[in-house]
Amino acid sequence: MPKAENKTTVTPVDPADFIAAVEHPTRRADALVLDGLFRRVTGFQPRMWGPTIIGYGQYHFIYDSGREGDFLATGFSPRKANLSIYIMPGYADFGSILDRLGKHRIGKSCLYVNKLADIDLTVLEELVRAGLDDLGQRWPVEPS
C-alpha cells in the first residue's frame, strides 16, 4: 500500500503577497497583526503551507503507525468565515489560558476567532508560546 503524503506542504508563495490579496479589509488587517505577533513570539519567518495557511516553524513527526511528515509548528489562516489559528497540537489542556482569551471556538487543533477585536492579544501570545513549548516537548521545532 503506498504511503500517504501530507496534503498541506510548504509552497513558494510569499506570505506578504497572500496577506495583501485577502479581500476583506478587517480580515487583511487582522492578518497583518497576527503576522507580527507570530514573528515576535516565535522568532521565525513565515512560510505558506498549502494555499491558505501561514506557518511559523515546523516539525517532523513519526507516529506509532509509521506515518511521518513535516508540518507547521504554529500559524494562522485568514479564512472568509473567521481566523483559523493553529496553536494547539492537541496534546495539552490550555483551558486556563483559553478562559482569559475572549470570544473564540476551538476545534481539534485550531482556535477560531471572528476578529482580533474579540480577543486579548496578550493572552493569544501566551497561548502561542504555550502551544509551541508543548509541541517542542514531543517533536523538535525548527525554523521553517
**Into which CATH architecture does domain 15-137 fall?**
Alpha-Beta Complex (3.90)
Residue 144's SS3 state is coil
Residue 66: per-residue pLDDT: 82
Residue 88: per-residue pLDDT: 64
Quick check: 127 pLDDT over 50? yes
Q: List, for residues 28-52, the tens digit of each pLDDT value.
A: 999 999 999 999 999 999 999 999 9
Average pLDDT over residues 9-20: 96
Residue 91: per-residue pLDDT: 58
Q: Is the whole-model pTM more than 0.75?
A: yes
Euclidean distance between CA atoms 6 and 129, whole angstroms: 25
Model confidence band, residue 92 (pLDDT cutoffs 50, 70, 90): confident
**Contact predicate 32/16, CB 8 Å:** no
Q: How many other C-beta atoms are found inside a 10 Å radius of the C-beta of residue 100? A: 12
Residue 74's SS3 state is strand
Residue bearing cell 504511503: 3
Residue bearing cell 497583518: 32
Model confidence band, residue 1 (pLDDT cutoffs 50, 70, 90): very low
Euclidean distance between CA atoms 14 and 129, whole angstroms: 24
Q: What is the DSSP string of 15-56?
A: HHHHHHT-SSHHHHHHHHHHHHHHHHHH-PPEEEETTTEEEE
Angle between helices 121-136 and 25-42 (to 10 degrees): 50
